[in-house]
Amino acid sequence: MKDTTVAREKAPSSPMRMGIVLFLISETFLFGALFWTYYYLRGHDTPWPPQHPLATLPAINTGLLLLSSIAVWLGGYMIKKGREKGLFIGLLVTVLLGASFLGITGWEWLHESFRPWTNAYGSIFFLLTGVHALHVFGGVLLMLALLARTARHRFTAGNSVGVEIGSLYWHFIDLIWLLVFTTIFIVR
Amino acid sequence: MRNVNILKALGGGVIGAGIVLLARLALGMAVWKPVPVLVVGGLAGLFTYILAALGLKKLLSLDAARGALTGLAGTGVGVGLTMLVRVLIGRPAWSADGVLTIGIMTGVIAYLIALGVFNHWWRWAIGAAPKETVEPPKSGWQRYFSVDTNHKVIGIQYFVTGLGLLPFAVVLQLIGRIHMADPHLGLLNSTAYESVISDHGIIMLFMVVLPIFSGMMNYFVPLQIGARDVAFPRLNAFTYWLTPPAALLAMFSFMAGGFDTGWTAYPPLSTSYEPAGMSLILIAVFLIGISSILTAVNIITTIMKMRAPGMTFFRMPIFIWATFGTVGLTLVFTQFISMAFIMLLLSRTLGFGFFNTAMGGQPLLYQYLFWFYSHPAVYVFVLIGLGMISDIIPVFVRKPLFGYKGVAISTLGIAFGGTVVFAHHMFASGMPAMLRIPFMVTTLLVAVPTGVKVFAWVATTWMGKMRLQTPLIFVFSAVILFLIGGLTGVPLGIVPVDLYLHDSYWVVGHFHAMFFGGFLMPVMAAFYYWFPKVTGRMLREGLGKIQWLLMTLGTFLLVLPMLGLGLEGMRRRTAAYDLSSNFQPLHIATAVGGFLVFAGLVVLVMNIRSSFKRNVIAGDNPWGSRTLEWMVSSPPPEDNFKEIPEVLDRPHLHGVSSAPHARLGKPDDADSAQNQGEA
């Protein structure tokens, strides 16, 4: 009895990695549904877009997220070398950048000339950016958890699956943002 | 003692009903309305009875009870806060949709926190050390009302939830059938009839079929692949506990006015239908969606990573293949229905305009999103049933499964084919005409892997040493019904025929044949097959055969008249028809069929009861089966296998090979390992 319980606790290091990849595949289809909605409405409604969203701030946001991806990658690289402090700083920078992204997005939403209930474009604009922002919010919470764990010395060079999972997720929402940005501000 | 409790329960019920009456009086509504008063009174009575029988302390020690009470309180707080905010921003305090939606979401979160499913993750997130002491599992039945991470407990929880809701959904439809037997008696008004059949559909698909299959996957996947548990046991518990609130929401949507859209919930009907029952359903399906996506992550990881040594892909039982195909589909496509239902919910509560033409939206968009999921979901609903059939036949005809590899690959073929046919639901919806032919071709192509399976089943029985026990005869009914379902589906895939048959009873008959053949009959077969393994007791053969007779006759009586009605031009989801037409006898036949099926369920309950009373010990392997779950005791030990088994050969080689499917670890090795652990 005793030894099997221990075995069950220890085993899942590689299942964890597979689990998160499967989850992200699933999330891809979630955003797929949203992009489908966007392009479907775009193809059936003229003129498109009926009103123009603010564009400067999202461009800055793109920069922030790209930087944060580099930060989280550096953190993961550091812990592989056994440098806990490097991981801590990397995660901290990621959290700050992610939080600024959310702040800027919130400000931008408040200052848009339209609302989700204005028309279908407003609906899909707010849903697409909103669902993405919700994922960034989840990512920030995950990064905070990783920070707390780093502060309590839970990660070592040999045991950093948590960080790997966190950074995979973070890169994923970063990649999705690039698609969101391209869709809303470049393809339009 | 018992009588005192019943008296207390009566008192509680009267008080509950009285509170509703007072509340209605205070709100200025008509004081007497039977449904809410009786339902709340009944629930209050039930609650008082449980409280009196168990005592407060024992009741609160059950996670489920604690969660339910906290959830109710959370819903109350959420409703109150939303109303307060609405008053503060100067809108009328009460709007059923908005207030209930937010209240229920708060309630569900409160319920999950009170259950304790987040505890471990919270400790992980703040970096605390994992708990040193593991609480011993609760004893007996209490374990099933608590959060437990053992896959067998969760499997039973899922299965019983699904099986418990099955009679509810059947009774709903029986009411609808009685109404249709003579619509002019006015048993139901048109909205009530639509609500009844819509809720029947939603509950059957999302709260009966999915939980029952999740239960069977949870219980038997780790056992059949030789693992001790699923890959993520805590996630597994979390996904189960999302099911009960969803089921309650679906059952209580009537109290909030039901929903008259059919299970498909097409806008603009679903966005303009006033009562909040619609929103409750949307939330319920969203919860089930989260649950099934995470289950899919869990089961795929389990199958990929935790197979016993020697368990190559082509040594897996077909049930595992079918599970793999099914969870692969749910993993990616459930997101579409989740999103579509969220969009509906946003349209209803906040006035978003995705589907509103006046705002530049497109109603047809919803149908694409919906069928992206819901067509693959059709295969989610039947693939596992087909897997069960493939595994059960060889055991009872004592022959290897014919074309094992073909059957295995055809499972994935069906799963893949199912993803590229969704638009055949929209031939009549005004989608671009150029899409019709490609989707017609892909639809007809899916018949090929399905045909492979039917062919393999029939070929397996050829010259077999057949033992006509209950599981096998259920399987035969399943195969015949599945064949009827398949053949009636082909005309629906052909565009010109579909334009005539679309939205008629032909469609209803087709998918009921599919569900009886792909879900109910295989599940009954599997129930009789695996019941001895799960409980350690045998079911009665005689009662099983009576149940089989009732259900098979009932199903044919139910399905064939529907096909006839469809050809005659009877539309589905219509609450009335002209009595001068020749529809009435067929409607009556359908109703009788429904009652026969229900009688079958009653026999099943009797059989389960008598099995626990008689207590005939099943032994490890009553059917002479070869797969891994039959190599351990019945019911299986807490950790399934003392030593991870080694798989040697294919599962279905009955009567051919003397080599077993797998070898369990040598007992003396296991003993010495245990001794070392204790030392």
Does residue B22 surpass a pLDDT of 50? Answer: yes
Contact check, Cβ <8 Å, B338/A19: no
Return the pLDDT at B657.
Answer: 67
CA-based nearest residue in chain A for residue B342? A127
Of B241-245, B420-424, B599-603, least confident by mean pLDDT is B420-424
Contact B632, B568 (CB under 8 A): no
User: Percentage of residues in chain B with pLDDT exceeding 70?
Assistant: 97
Q: Which residues of A fall within a CB distance of 8 Å from B151?
A: none
Q: Domain spans of chain A?
A: 55-187
pLDDT tens figures, B516-544: 999 999 999 999 999 999 999 999 999 99
ipTM of the complex: 0.91
CA-based nearest residue in chain B for residue A11? B231
Return the pLDDT at B237.
Answer: 94
Q: Which of B228, B340, B354 sits opposite A124 (nearest CB)?
A: B354
Distance CA B117, CA B136 (A): 16
Q: Which of B221, B350, B359 to mutate to test the interface with A (most CBs of A within 10 A)?
A: B359
Q: Which of A3, A14, A26 sits opposite B335 (nearest CB)?
A: A26
Average pLDDT, chain A: 90
Helix axes B96-115, B318-350, angle to 10 degrees: 140
pLDDT tens figures, B369-380: 999 998 888 888
Tell me the mean pLDDT in the region B218-235: 94
Return the pLDDT at B132.
Answer: 67
Distance CA A167, CA A169 (A): 5
* A125 sits in which H/E element: helix A120-151
3-state DSSP assignment of residue B647? strand
Assigned CATH topology for domain B148-614: Cytochrome C Oxidase; Chain A (1.20.210)
Contact check, Cβ <8 Å, A33/B365: no
Distance CA B608, CA A164 (A): 49
Does residue B187 surpass a pLDDT of 50? Answer: yes
Distance CA B296, CA B230 (A): 11
Distance CA B435, CA B439 (A): 6
Distance CA B325, CA B277 (A): 33
Does residue B188 surpass a pLDDT of 60? Answer: yes
Q: Which residues of B fall within a CB distance of 8 Å from A14?
A: 305
Return the pLDDT at B671.
Answer: 46
Min Cα separation B337/chain A (Å): 9
Contact check, Cβ <8 Å, A8/B296: no
Min Cα separation A182/chain B (Å): 21
Cβ within 8 Å of residue A110, ≥6 positions away: none
Does residue A122 surpass a pLDDT of 90? Answer: yes
Assigned CATH class of A55-187: mainly alpha
Return the pLDDT at B673.
Answer: 44
Contact check, Cβ <8 Å, B332/A26: yes
Of B7-21, B316-330, B509-523, B555-569, least confident by mean pLDDT is B7-21
Tell me the mean pLDDT in the region B601-608: 96
Burial of B645 (0-12, 13-18, 19+ CB in 10 A): buried
Does residue A131 surpass a pLDDT of 50? Answer: yes
Distance CA B539, CA B547 (A): 12
Tell me the mean pLDDT in the region B351-375: 91
Model confidence at B1, pLDDT cuts 50, 70, 90, reads low
DSSP class per residue in B404-425: HHHHHHHHHHHHHHGGG-GGGG
Contact check, Cβ <8 Å, B297/A19: yes
Return the pLDDT at B663.
Answer: 85
Return the pLDDT at A61.
Answer: 94
Does residue B99 surpass a pLDDT of 70? Answer: yes
Residue A156 sits at φ, ψ, to 5 deg, of: -130, 175
Contact check, Cβ <8 Å, B365/A18: no
* DSSP 8-class letter at A156: B
Q: Which of B300, B301, B333 sits opposite A29 (nearest CB)?
A: B333
Contact check, Cβ <8 Å, A2/B677: yes
Return the pLDDT at B223.
Answer: 95
CA-based nearest residue in chain B for residue A37? B365
Contact check, Cβ <8 Å, A29/B332: yes
Contact check, Cβ <8 Å, A8/B126: no
Average pLDDT, chain B: 89
Min Cα separation B121/chain A (Å): 10
CA-based nearest residue in chain B for residue A141? B125
Contact check, Cβ <8 Å, A120/B356: yes
Contact check, Cβ <8 Å, B352/A117: yes
Model confidence at A40, pLDDT cuts 50, 70, 90, reads very high
3-state DSSP assignment of residue A51? coil
What's chain A's Rg over C-alpha atoms? 19
Tell me the mean pLDDT in the region B278-289: 94
* B646 sits in which H/E element: strand B646-647
CA-based nearest residue in chain A for residue B121? A145
Does residue B229 surpass a pLDDT of 90? Answer: yes
Contact check, Cβ <8 Å, A120/B362: yes
Beta bridge partners of B504: B571
Model confidence at B245, pLDDT cuts 50, 70, 90, reads very high
Contact check, Cβ <8 Å, B332/A116: no
Beta bridge partners of B571: B504
Distance CA B372, CA B423 (A): 8
Does residue A82 come out as left (phi exceeding 0), alpha (psi in the -120 to 50 range) or beta? left
Distance CA A141, CA A143 (A): 5
CA-based nearest residue in chain B for residue A151? B127
* DSSP 8-class letter at A136: H
Q: Which of A117, A144, A148 sits opposite B351 (nearest CB)?
A: A117
Contact check, Cβ <8 Å, A30/B339: yes
CA-based nearest residue in chain B for residue A154? B127
Q: Which of B228, B301, B351 sits opposite A4 (nearest CB)?
A: B228
Does residue B165 surpass a pLDDT of 70? Answer: yes
Question: From the CB of residue B463, how many other CB atoms can be counted at a distance below 10 Å?
Answer: 9
Q: Which of A22, A40, A118 sits opposite B362 (nearest CB)?
A: A40
Q: Domain spans of chain B?
A: 1-54, 148-614, 628-678
Min Cα separation B123/chain A (Å): 10
Q: Which residues of A fall within a CB distance of 8 Å from B235?
A: 19
pLDDT tens figures, A85-106: 999 999 999 999 999 999 999 9
Tell me the mean pLDDT in the region A52-66: 92
Does residue B258 come out as left (phi exceeding 0), alpha (psi in the -120 to 50 range) or beta? left
pLDDT tens figures, B250-271: 988 888 888 889 899 999 899 9
Beta bridge partners of B537: B617
CA-based nearest residue in chain B for residue A43? B362
Amino acid at B76: G
Model confidence at A12, pLDDT cuts 50, 70, 90, reads very low
Does residue A153 come out as left (phi exceeding 0), alpha (psi in the -120 to 50 range) or beta? left
pLDDT tens figures, B57-87: 888 888 888 899 999 999 999 999 999 999 9
Q: Which of A22, A29, A30 sits opposite B301 (nearest CB)?
A: A22
Of B143-157, B216-230, B348-362, B421-435, least confident by mean pLDDT is B421-435
Return the pLDDT at B666.
Answer: 56
